[in-house]
C-alpha cells in the first residue's frame, strides 16, 4: 500500500472514530434538561430556606430584645438619659413592621432605648392588644400581664407575607420568654 493510500485510510478511520465518539443532540438535550431541573429545585429550596431563616432571625432578635428589657429591669439599670426613678422597661409594638424598647420612669417620662424595623415581608402583632406594651417591672416585680387572665400570657406573632409562615413568641405573667 502506498503512503497516500495509507493516509486516506487513517483519515477515514479517524473521522469514523471521531463521529462515533461524539454526543448526539438528544443526549445533549437530556443532559441540559436534567441540569436545568436540578438547578430549579435547588434554587426553590434555597429561596425557601432563606425565607425561613429571615423569619427565624427576626424572632430571635425579638426574643433577644425582650430579654434585654427584662434583664435591665431586673437589675434596676437606669437609662443614661434622665430617669430619676425607674418603673419598668417595656416592649412596644409601634406598627405592623416595627417595635420599640422603652424605659418608663415613675414620673411618667418615657425614655426611648431602641427602635427596630423588621424586614419588609415580616409583620408583627401582639395579643391581647391591651398588653401593648409588655412591661417588665424593676427588681423582679414581674410584668404587667395579669396572672388572672386566661391564658396568663402575651403572644407576639410574626407573619411572613410571602409564605404565610408564622413564628410565635410568648411572655408569661412571671416574665418567662418562650
Q: Where are the domains of the chain?
A: 24-172
With CA atoms as reference, report the closest residue to 74 among 135, 115, 116: 135
CA distances from 23 to 11, 27, 30, 33, 37 (A): 20, 6, 11, 15, 20
Distance of CA 115 to the CA centre of its chain: 18
Q: What are the C-alpha distances in Å from 50 to residues 19, 120, 173?
A: 46, 14, 34
Cα(140)–Cα(12) distance, rounded to whole angstroms?
Answer: 93
* Predicted confidence pLDDT, tens digits, the chain (178 residues): 566 555 666 556 555 555 556 788 999 999 999 999 999 888 888 888 888 888 999 999 999 999 999 998 988 888 877 778 889 999 999 999 999 999 998 888 888 889 999 998 999 999 888 888 999 998 878 898 888 877 889 999 999 988 889 999 999 988 889 8
Which of the four CATH numbers 1.20.140, 3.55.40, 1.10.3470, 3.40.50 does domain 24-172 have?
A: 3.55.40
Q: How many CB atoms lie within 10 A of CB 101?
A: 20
C-alpha cell of 34? Answer: 436534567
Amino acid at each position: 500500500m502506498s503512503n497516500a493510500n495509507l493516509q486516506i485510510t487513517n483519515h477515514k478511520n479517524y473521522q469514523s472514530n471521531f463521529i462515533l465518539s461524539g454526543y448526539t443532540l438528544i443526549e445533549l438535550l437530556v443532559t441540559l434538561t436534567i441540569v436545568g431541573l436540578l438547578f430549579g429545585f435547588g434554587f426553590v429550596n434555597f429561596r425557601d430556606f432563606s425565607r425561613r431563616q429571615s423569619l427565624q432571625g427576626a424572632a430571635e432578635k425579638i426574643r433577644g430584645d425582650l430579654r434585654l428589657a427584662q434583664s435591665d429591669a431586673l437589675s434596676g439599670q437606669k437609662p443614661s438619659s434622665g430617669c430619676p426613678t425607674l418603673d419598668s422597661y417595656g416592649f412596644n409594638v409601634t406598627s405592623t413592621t416595627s417595635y420599640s424598647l422603652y424605659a418608663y420612669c415613675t414620673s411618667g417620662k418615657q425614655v426611648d432605648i431602641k427602635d427596630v424595623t423588621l424586614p419588609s415581608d415580616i409583620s408583627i402583632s401582639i395579643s391581647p392588644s391591651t398588653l401593648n406594651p409588655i412591661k417588665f417591672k424593676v427588681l423582679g416585680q414581674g410584668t404587667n400581664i395579669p396572672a388572672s387572665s386566661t391564658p396568663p400570657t402575651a403572644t407576639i406573632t410574626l407573619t411572613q407575607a410571602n409564605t404565610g409562615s408564622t413564628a410565635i413568641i410568648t411572655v408569661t405573667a412571671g416574665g418567662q420568654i418562650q
